[in-house]
Amino acid sequence: MTIRAPQPEDAEAIASIVRAHNLPREWTWPEGKHGLVVANPRVVAFCILSETIYGLVIEELWEEQTREGFRGLSRLSKYIETIAQQLADERGEPLACGGIVRLDRATHIAALKHRDYTECATILEKIFQPRVPCDI
């Protein structure tokens, strides 16, 4: 398995992973965002990363729902942690690393807690449903 920057030819494999996770059909790779893919030789996992004032933010982290995809996800997670540790070492100061995990992904939350991640924020949402036009 190889971890590398995404290439244009990875688009269909990434789109397939996105569809498998039932992400909104409008989902696209955010313009200007950096990321990584795990390929063997096709893409089996990917992430989008950015650094903010809060630390290294994992904006997207998804895998092909196969044994190989889960192995790729594990390898990618370890790689991200290696990057975060290297940055903290280079800067000589702590660096937070994390992202949003929806509450309905209990297995994902448990796996992160097992890797010593802790809850540090609460995300609140309000769902706005489209209004039905009224013909009067």
Domain boundaries, the chain: 2-114
Q: Which CATH number fits domain 2-114: 3.40.228.10, 3.40.630.30, 3.90.700.10, 3.40.30.10?
A: 3.40.630.30
Q: Nearest to residue 64, comparing CAs of 20, 29, 112?
A: 20
C-alpha torsion 22→98→2→33, nearest 10: 70
pLDDT on residue 120: 87
Residues 6 or more apart whose Cβ sits within 8 Å of residue 30: 48, 59
Predicted local distance difference test score (pLDDT) of residue 133: 82
Q: CA 38, CA 106: separation in Å to the nearest integer?
A: 24
Question: Which position has the higher pLDDT, 74 or 25?
Answer: 74
DSSP state of 54: T
Reported confidence tier of residue 77, pLDDT bands at 50, 70, 90: very high
Phi, psi angles (nearest 5°) of residue 133: -60, 140
Provide the whole-model pTM: 0.83
pLDDT at 136 over 70: no
Measure the N-to-C terminal CA separation of the chain; round to a whole number of Å.
61
Rounded CA separation 28/49 (Å):
15
Res. 68: pLDDT tops 70? yes
Confidence (pLDDT) at 89: 97
Give the pLDDT score at 101: 87
Query: Which position has the token pair 């009067």?
Result: 136
